[in-house]
Amino acid sequence: MSATFTPKTVAEVVHLVQWARQTRTPLYPVSRGLNWGYGSSSPVVDGCAVVDLSGMREIRNKTEISARNPVAVIEPGVTQGDLHDHLAEHHPDLTFNVTGSGRQTSVLGNALDRGVGYIGPRKEDIYGLEFVDGQGRVFETGFRRLGEHSPLAHTHPYGLGPMLDGLLSQSNFGIVTSACFRLLPRRPREAAVSFSLREPKDLGAFLDALIAMKREGLLATVTHAGNRARTQATLTYGLSKYLAAECGLRGEALERAAVQALRLVAPYEWTALGSVMGSAGQLRATLKEIDARSRRWARVRVVTEERLRLGYAVLHRLRWLPAARAQAAAIAAIRPLQGLARGVPTDAPIDNLLWKFGRPELPAEHLDRSRCGLLFINPALPADGGFVARLMDELDRLAATFGHTLNTTINIETPTSVVAVINLLFDRADPQAVAQAHRCADALYRCIDASGLSVYRARADMMADVVARNPAYWALVRSLKDVLDPQGVIAPGRYCPA
């Protein structure tokens, strides 16, 4: 068991670092520690003290946030839920890049781990980092070093001179105690577009069409293409909850109705969800163009919050009819997910996992108390549909040899880059299932590596192979670490082995 410290201020973090230097106890910082699928809050080496920063939960510049100053200076403990609720109450004209993880996950820890939100990679959203290094010194990056009262402190992301921000992400070079986080203006109109790919064999061409639409700015956010296993894993609980609570279904009748509703949302193997934003006129023209480009491969549906609200109101009243019931259930299940692109975080995907593993009563933040075992294997991919489709096929076939079905989303995250988020689910109370899942994850990783690719976010057990591939690069990383933390006070992290 590691000791855990819960500092509340920067001064307390500095004090902890000084104590760690004297006692030679490596420190392992986490913001909320909900890094499920990558090791949660567990340190990578034994003998560490965990620095749990969840008690540093201030939005420091609350009174200065406005449409003209769309920046929140946040501490590590600020959750997605905190930021959303604050903006909803005080600045409904502003939103931000939320992830599909729970409401209680952090904004800053996720960005430092280079997580990906519905608008894009979170790394792009943070700058002006305040951090404590391994010698107990406090630094600010960019123009924040001029002092909080400088007019440039929270407005210029780059500062002057070498940009040190990158040294603090996926690293163990310092303990970040606050950062500037970009907020986004709400657009006058927003709509989600759902695509159901009719034939799995067209996945490559379909992805190329989606990638082109991202490059040309037609699809504004990250477009997620999920396979059936993933869609099922994400929606079944929402569907079943509605059918049980609102329609009184139980047992086999419930299962049959849930399958019928799932078929409406995901009628084929691959379903993608993207979104468009702009004025009413821009939206009309963009949707027309998207439809023209994709309808030869996919069934295209436009989903707006108003349509869902209206549809639900009507269909819910008609729920004694099986067809209406299925549609109302589908709306109830997809609504929280559709809100993600509009900056509304949800626990729905975590609740689904808790339900699947028999603990629907647990709050989402306690996922680790359930039997849900989860391993992420997330390859970074080129923006080449054919390549991606071939690799996904190979990984699926490989996983099947271990008895696993992969839950996969292919995310078009920037105009030039695609990532896949692949998770392996297993019962972690069953030692054989745990061992088998790890064997499967290792095989998938080796296949990714053999294709000349890498994961974009790693578990600690992958890093020996990663380092072996480019030892000189990682030796340079190690020497940079020595500058800020010569005694190794901040523990080896997942990305920076000892």
Ligand X SMILES: Cc1cc2nc3c(=O)[nH]c(=O)nc-3n(C[C@H](O)[C@H](O)[C@H](O)COP(=O)(O)OP(=O)(O)OC[C@H]3O[C@@H](n4cnc5c(N)ncnc54)[C@H](O)[C@@H]3O)c2cc1C
In the complex, the smallest distance separating the C-beta of residue 199 from ligand X, rounded to whole angstroms, is 28
Contact (CB, 8 A) for 231 and 265: yes
Taking alpha carbons only, the member of 126, 130, 105, 128 closest to residue 181 is 126
Interatomic CA distance for residues 306 and 361, integer angstroms: 31
DSSP of 199-220, one letter per residue? -GGGHHHHHHHHHHHHHTTSS-
Residue 261: its H or E element: helix 251-265
In the complex, the smallest distance separating the C-beta of residue 449 from ligand X, rounded to whole angstroms, is 22
Residues 363-382 close enough to bind ligand X by CB under 6 A? 374
Interatomic CA distance for residues 264 and 96, integer angstroms: 30
Long-range own/partner contacts, residues 477-485 (CB < 8 A, 24 or more apart): 477/171, 480/167, 480/173, 481/171, 481/172, 481/173, 484/133, 484/134, 484/135, 484/167, 484/173, 484/174, 485/133, 485/134, 485/135, 485/172, 485/173, 485/174
| Nearer Cβ to ligand X (57/299) | 57
Contact (CB, 8 A) for 49 and 26: yes
In the complex, the smallest distance separating the C-beta of residue 444 from ligand X, rounded to whole angstroms, is 17
Mask of contacts with ligand X, 165-204, x by CB under 6 A? ----------xx----------------------------
| Nearer Cβ to ligand X (176/484) | 176
The verdict on 30 binding ligand X (CB under 6 A) reads yes
| Nearer Cβ to ligand X (76/385) | 76
Number of residues located near ligand X, criterion CB under 6 A: 31
| Nearer Cβ to ligand X (209/421) | 421
The verdict on 243 binding ligand X (CB under 6 A) reads no
DSSP of 386-455, one letter per residue? HHHHHHHHHHHHHHHTTT---EEEEEE-SSSEEEEEEEEEEETT-HHHHHHHHHHHHHHHHHHHHTT--E
The verdict on 134 binding ligand X (CB under 6 A) reads no
The verdict on 29 binding ligand X (CB under 6 A) reads yes
Contact (CB, 8 A) for 225 and 422: no
Q: Which of 14, 16, 27, 34 binds ligand X (CB under 6 A)?
A: 34
Q: Which of 16, 27, 31, 373 binds ligand X (CB under 6 A)?
A: 31
The verdict on 116 binding ligand X (CB under 6 A) reads yes
Contact window for ligand X (CB under 6 A) among 102-110, 287-295, 331-339, 433-441: 102-110
| Nearer Cβ to ligand X (101/370) | 101
Q: Which residues touch 471 (CB under 8 Å, ≥6 apart)?
A: none
Interatomic CA distance for residues 492 and 478, integer angstroms: 10
The verdict on 493 binding ligand X (CB under 6 A) reads yes
| Nearer Cβ to ligand X (33/385) | 33
Contact (CB, 8 A) for 243 and 249: yes
Q: Which of 112, 247, 377, 491 binds ligand X (CB under 6 A)?
A: 112
As given in the structure block, the two tokens for residue 241 are 């909850």
The verdict on 109 binding ligand X (CB under 6 A) reads yes
Q: Which of 350, 377, 399, 419 binds ligand X (CB under 6 A)?
A: 350
In the complex, the smallest distance separating the C-beta of residue 40 from ligand X, rounded to whole angstroms, is 7
The verdict on 20 binding ligand X (CB under 6 A) reads no
In the complex, the smallest distance separating the C-beta of residue 457 from ligand X, rounded to whole angstroms, is 7
User: In 138-290, at which residue ranges do the beta strands (DSSP E only) sit?
Assistant: 138-140, 174-182, 184-185, 189-197, 223-227, 270-278
Contact window for ligand X (CB under 6 A) among 97-105, 198-206, 309-317, 354-362: 97-105
The verdict on 7 binding ligand X (CB under 6 A) reads no
Residues forming contacts to ligand X in the complex (CB under 6 A) are 29-37, 41, 53, 76, 99-101, 105-106, 108-110, 112-113, 115-116, 175-176, 349-350, 353, 374, 493
